[in-house]
Structure 1
Amino acid sequence: MSVSKQSVFSMFSSSFTSTRSSDDPKNSHYESQQMREVHSHLEESIRPYIDLIDTLRSVGIHKDLALPTIVVIGDQSSGKSSVLETLSGVALPRGNGIVTRCPLELRLKKVTGGVSWKAVISYREKRTEFADPSMVERHVKTAQDELAGNGVGICDELITLEVMSPDVCNLTLIDLPGIARVPVAGQPDDIANQIKKLIIKFIVMQETINLVVVPCNIDIATTEALKLAQEVDPEGKRTIAVLTKPDLIDKGTEKNILAIVQNKVIPLRKGYVMVKCRGQQQIDDDISLDEATEMEKEFFQNHEFFRRLLSEDKATTKSLANKLTQNLVDHIKKSLPQLSEQIKKQLWDLRDDLKECESGPPQDSKGAKQFLIKILTKFNGRIKLLSSGEKMAEKNLFVLLREEFNMWNDHLNETKKSLKQSTKEKIEVLQNFRGRELPGFSNYRVFEVILQNHVATLKNPASKLLNAIKGIILDHFTEVVETCFQNYPNLQSITKDKIDNIQSSQQAKAEQRISEQFKMERMIFTQDPIFLKALNEIPDSETFSIDELPVFDKKSKYSDMLEAYYEIVVQRMADQLPMMILFFMLKQTAKLLTADMLSLLKGVKVSELLFEDTDVSRRRRDLQARLDRLSIAQETLSNFEGSAE
């Protein structure tokens, strides 16, 4: 740009000063022309920055990160509404108690080209355009009633009022509710705390310039608004104070007020400005804002103490507008690099979050069915991998199953000891069971009964093993269901029901086969070579060959024969039961489940199966909305930086 921003502001300030001191019509005409040229340079230098932030706020980026802005705060009846009124050129709601009940973003845009006056008010999804300045108060009240309810309550939802006129400055600021000290009728007892929390929510952010409105006719140190500003900005780096109602101060306190404005009492880095806006009497007398502006200038020109503030550029609403615009643009320029980095970081994080939050099903029926086929195929694939022993979680399924099978094997080995002990006791009383056999021969029926009774003690442990394995497999299947269908509660429920039904059926089959196994074990059978091998492996036992079978049927070897045969039973049970359980509860369940899942593609409404959990779909929508607005913001910033170069 050919004219620097700082030089333009200097021209702007000097023009205001010369205009105030000149009563010559010719000079006034010349200075008006000069002012138009200055405004033209101002438009070129500052409007793009303010428009940039307004655009980002319109996109909704303020929901994700703080934007450079000016926030107006003040105690009730501090003159806050009057200041905004003078800056904007429109009548805002006035009255006793809380007038501003929602944050009001005031966007002032100086326009040319035949536009006389136009405004747009927007909140939530509503947007109303109008061309009558007298309708501003009504529209703002309507918006506040809709957001905060009829009455005197407050709300933190933003109302945006955009005013386009050739008679306003280029400025955007946010007006917040006045700080109440005592609740009035209809207000909650904690209204003061509610308002303070709302104010702090805005002013605590480092990107915010705090414009504090303070009446001249009270002790500045006692104002709640300035106290709040000092809490969040103790060094006064981003606070500007506006002193109002200078015509109401007590006689003799002028020098004290002057010292405040000159930054000698409570220092603020951005300083003070004194203004005199329309009072209620002037409003009642139908004094226009233009007339009030002229009266303000005359008040300071004729004031014995405050006239010096004109030359210091610390008085009048025009001086305030100049100061605010300059500070806002400087603040925006300083904030842009950090703002750009914050947007980049949030975009990076959001893309990762969206990856975790699986994309939802297409809305069209054909696309939805293809989506269902895809996730069912993925589910079946994971179930097959699970049943084949692939690692699907931190601990492999077969590691857990093997732990149970090892405990089953350990239990079987423990029962060998109890068999040995009981065999000795039974042999001692075996004579009581002697039948017609001659001495030296054993009763084979006794041999059978001892083994049959001992094997029968394994039934309950076998049943517990089956239930334990069922529980482990069910947990892993359920985990796959919840992982693959985490967003679809109906599909989850249907699949879990299928697993329960299939496992119940398979458990019944497994129980039947285990029962048959125990019945077969009552037969007391094994091949002769297997029995002899087991018998010969018993420590301290004689060795026998198959040719000696008829001669070692004697009581002295009775316990060894029982021990040898039970070793064979243990080996059979150690392998057979786990194999049965794995076959029915895992392999067959997985096979039946994957086949049954494909039947969901027939006769069931796809939309019902793919109905999403509300929280999940809402989170995805929120993430996508954030991604969209941050992407727009990044593009807007990129285009702005490109055009600035």
Structure 2
Amino acid sequence: MSSPSAPPAPAPFPVPTPQPSLGHSIIPALTKLQEILSQLGEENFSIDLPQVVAIGSQGSGKSSVVESLVGRDFLPRGVKTRRPVVIQLVRKIGEEWGEFDHVSGKKFYDFEEIKKEIQLETDREMGGYNYISEKEIHLKIFSPNVPDITLVDLPGVSKVPVGDQPGDIQLKTRDLIFSYIKQPRCIILAISPANEDLTNSDALQLARLVDPEGLFLSFLLDIMDRGTDARNFLLGKVVPLKLGYFGVVNRSQEDLKFNRSVKDALAFEQSFFSTIQAYNGLSHCCGVPQLANKLNQILVQHIKAILPALKSRVNMQLVAVAKEHASFGDTEESKDGLAVKLLNILAQYSEAFCSMVEGRNRVSTDELSGGARVHYIFQSIFVKRLEEVDPCGDISDQDIRIAIQNAAGPRTALFLPEAPFEILVRRQIRYLLDPSLQCARFVYEELVKMSNRCLTEELTKYPALRRRMDEVIGNFLRERLNPAEKMITHIIDMQVCASTDKNSTPGAGGHT
């Protein structure tokens, strides 16, 4: 469908100015509350805010829409999205920067560096392969120009394997998308070009499978040219949706090739909709700024709905914490008194650990643990691995024959010489190293589990101390694993040396 050739000049297309609202004040407060509860170890106390999940076919413009909402170019180009990128937008006055969960404590002020880090982290997980992974990349972006929402950029639906992609890539991609959009708090942002048949849209079909009534679905039409009239779609006359449709103008491949900025693209989008007569009167559903405001309104409505229950849960938690605090008794103690209490807690922890090793703790019928598990590792797993070692593996009759002939020199051996036996045994003893190192790692892992299970009554009162003890003990065991592996390697080397002729001398092919 084409637009009129000479449209009259309409009134300027209104662009909404962000106004302070409930969302701009309460969402950061809820996020901060969630972080505090997480630090206190309250994993079961979660505040579920909706996530906006962008879905669509490969090349449909998902990443471009996410960048437009952020107002920055920060997602890699030339490479299809291969891992979910979870982007938490935080409205904050001042500078703009990003933070990754996997790069602790570092702020990225250059968004080109953010783009490179996303690509590097994808390659660390996927290598050079064109597969997809369920492992998320978590990014926080702080800016005065963003709404307080969480966006998820998912891999696009792939119908035909390309390059080294597996044959079931379409099934894996659909399963990954379903794992996100089936969540009850998910707002689905389905994206499709406006010049394609909407009824055959992959994004719409996937979204309708989990949300047949369109209650949590908003459809985004990428209107790329003046010859596309999407008015009926935007008005919901074709496929009605509760959250409605939004029209946007993404950057074209030519724009990306010449590095057209997101800011320039948004300015062009505003100009586009203000000069096309077909979109007169549709300012509420045309353009990225309107989409951002709509998403913020959805969050505000959700927060209003959960605030009463949230307040009740916080009050109940306060009462529980107050009771726990009262059970501690008088906490005004001297430094010496606190030191004695700490030593008592450590002594109780040590006693609990020894009891677990010696089997004096509560006996479980579910699984082996503690000293019993360590005994099983040595007597069953380790022994089985040793029995699997073939003493004659990689040694052929020809190897034995050549070794005997070399040991005999120019003479014909009347009896079997000892030297070839020692040479072959030395080589085979090396096969005992891998099972021995594996046994050490299994024991290390069980000791870590034991330390995590030693939760005394006194220790439960001090969660910060508990986390610090887990950290220190974990580091201690980890630091001792390396010397243990070195010792095992040295023992194997000693066995190799012991198998040589006791009369051999250095430099003559033997060891002393």
2:98: which partner in 1? 119
Matches within 5 A, 1:542-581: none
**Alignment partner, residue 315 of structure 1:** 286
Q: 1:54–1:281: structure 2 CA closer, same or farther, 3 Å change rule?
A: farther
| 1:290 equivalent in alignment to 2:263 | yes
Alpha-carbon distance, 1:319 to partner: 0.3
In the other structure, the counterpart of 1:261 is 234
Cα deviation, residue 279, structure 1: 1.8
1:247 partner SS: coil
Gaps of 5+ in 2: 1-9, 321-342, 380-442, 465-512
Distance, in Å, in 1 between the alignment partners of 2:158 and 2:282 is 31
Whether 1:204 aligns to 2:185 is no
Displacement of 1:157 in angstroms is: 1.9
Work out whether 1:331 is the aligned partner of 2:302. Answer: yes
- State the Cα deviation string for residues 505-560 of structure 1 (Å, max 9, x = none): xxxxxxxxxxxxxxxxxxxxxxxxxxxxxxxxxxxxxxxxxxxxxxxxxxxxxxxx
Q: Which of the numbers 127, 145, 149 marks the counterpart of 1:167? A: 145
Would you tell me which structure has more helix in proportion to its own residues?
1
Tell me how far apart the structure 2 counterparts of residues 618 and 156 of structure 1 sit (CA, whole Å). Answer: 31
User: Which residue, 65, 90, 107 being the options, matches 1:83?
Assistant: 65
Q: Residue 78 of structure 1 aligns to which amino acid in structure 2? A: S
Provide the aligned C-alpha RMSD in A.
Answer: 4.6
For residue 116 of structure 1, report the CA deviation from its aligned partner: 2.6
Which of 86, 100, 109 is residue 90 of structure 2 equivalent to? 109
Deviation sequence 1:385-432 (CA, Å, 0-9, x none)? xxxxxxxxxxxxxxxxxxxxxxxxxxxxxxxxxxxxxxxxxxxxxxxx
Asked if 1 retains the 8 angstrom alpha-carbon contact of 2:231 and 2:279, the reply is yes
1:92 corresponds in structure 2 to 74
Distance 1:363 1:198, change over 3 A: farther
Give the CA deviation at 1:275: 0.7
Q: 1:133 deviation in Å?
A: 1.8
* 1:155-177 Cα distance to aligned partner (Å, 9 max, x none): 22221221122333332211111
Distance 1:375 1:146 in 2: 39
1:318 to 1:621, Cα distance in 2 relative to 1, 3 A: farther
What is the identity, as a one-letter code, of the residue corresponding to 2:369? N
Please say if residues 84 and 135 of structure 2, whose CA atoms lie closer than 8 Å, have aligned partners that are also in contact.
yes
* Inter-partner Cα distance in structure 2 for 1:615 and 1:166: 44
Instruction: Return the alpha-carbon distance in structure 2 between the equivalents of residues 265 and 100 of structure 1.
Output: 30
Q: Residue 261 of structure 1 aligns to which amino acid in structure 2?
A: L
1:186 partnered with 2:68: no
Tell me which of 274, 279, 283 is aligned to 1:306. Answer: 279
Q: 2 CA distance for matches of 1:53 and 1:173?
A: 18
CA distance in 2, matches of 1:201, 1:484: 31
SS of equivalent residue, structure 1 residue 370? helix
1:326, distance to aligned residue in structure 2 (A): 1.0
State the match for 1:241 in structure 2. 219
Residue 250 of structure 2 corresponds to residue 277 of structure 1: yes
Cα shift at 1:265: 1.3
Partner residue of 1:217? 195
Provide the aligned length of Structure 1 versus Structure 2.
Answer: 361
Instruction: Flag the structure with larger Rg.
Output: 1
Distance 1:143 1:297 in 2: 35
Give the fraction of aligned pairs with identical amino acids, expressed as a percent: 28
Q: State how far apart, in whole Å, the 1-side matches of 2:313 and 2:23 are.
A: 29
Give the structure-2-normalised TM-score. 0.59
Q: Are the aligned partners of 2:53 and 2:189 in contact in 1 as well (CA < 8 Å)?
A: yes
Displacement of 1:135 after TM fit?
1.6
Given that 2:374 and 2:446 are in contact with CA atoms closer than 8 Å, whether structure 1 keeps it comes out as no
Shift of the 65–48 alpha-carbon distance from structure 1 to 2, 3 Å rule, reads closer
Residue 487 of structure 1 pairs with residue 369 of structure 2: yes
Give, in whole Å, the separation in 2 of the partners of 1:142 and 1:317.
29
Shift in Å at residue 104 of structure 1? 1.1
Q: Given the superposition, is the C-alpha separation of residues 289 and 481 from structure 1 closer, same or farther in structure 2, using an over 3 Å criterion?
A: closer
Corresponding residue for residue 466 of structure 1: none
Conserved? CA contact 1:70–1:210, under 8 Å: yes
For 1:483 and 1:94, locate their aligned partners in 2 and report how far apart those are by CA, in whole Å.
Answer: 52
Q: Which moved more, 1:287-296 or 1:187-196?
A: 287-296
For residue 506 of structure 1, what is the aligned residue in structure 2?
none
1:100–1:178 contact (8 Å) kept in structure 2 = yes
In the alignment, the residues of structure 2 paired with residue 57 and residue 102 of structure 1 have an alpha-carbon distance, to the nearest angstrom, of 25
What is the TM-score with the length of structure 1 in the denominator?
0.48
Q: Which amino acid aligns with 2:204?
A: L
Counterpart-to-counterpart distance in 2, 1:485 and 1:21: 66
Q: Residues 119-157 of structure 1, C-alpha deviation per residue, up to 9 Å, x if partnerless?
A: 11223x755421112222111111212233332222222
Q: Once the 2 structures are TM-superposed, how far is the Cα of residue 214 of structure 1 from its aligned partner?
A: 1.4
Give the deviation of 1:376 after TM superposition: 9.7
Shift of 1:272: 0.7
String of CA shifts for 1:201-253, please: whole Å, max 9, x gaps.
Answer: 11111111111111111111112121111000011111111111x1347x4x5
Match of 1:428 in 2: none
Supply the distance in 1 between the matched residues of 2:448 and 2:112 (Cα, whole angstroms): 45
Q: Which residue of 1 aligns with 2:124?
A: 146
Superposed CA deviations along residues 441-493 of structure 1, whole A, max 9, x for unmatched, are: xxxxxxxxxxxxxxxxxxxxxxxxxxxxxxxxxxxxxxx97669952244895
Change (3 A) 1:315 1:614: farther
How has the CA–CA distance of structure 1 residues 192 and 110 changed in structure 2, closer, same or farther, with 3 Å as cutoff? same
Using the TM superposition, give the Cα deviation of residue 287 of structure 1 relative to its aligned residue in structure 2, in angstroms: 2.8
Tell me how far 1:56 sits from its aligned partner: 7.4
Runs of at least 5 residues in structure 1 that lack an aligned partner in the other structure: 1-16, 23-30, 349-361, 381-479, 498-609, 630-645
Structure 1 residue corresponding to 2:24, chosen from 43, 50, 67: 43
Taking a change above 3 Å as real, the CA distance of residues 367 and 620 of structure 1, as seen in their structure-2 partners, is: closer
Query: Which residue matches 2:475?
Result: none
SS, match of residue 298 in structure 1: helix
Q: For the Cα contact (< 8 Å) 2:352–2:454, is it kept in 1?
A: no
Q: Given the superposition, is the C-alpha separation of residues 201 and 62 from structure 1 closer, same or farther in structure 2, using an over 3 Å criterion?
A: farther
| Secondary structure class of the residue paired with 2:58 | coil
Whether the aligned pair in 2 keeps the contact of 1:101 and 1:177 (CA below 8 Å) is yes
Tell me whether 1:69 sits opposite 2:51 in the alignment: yes
Residue identity matched to 1:326: Q
Secondary structure of the corresponding residue to residue 164 of structure 2? coil
Moved more, 184-193 or 364-373: 364-373
Cα 1:306–1:175, aligned 2, differ >3 Å: closer, same or farther?
same
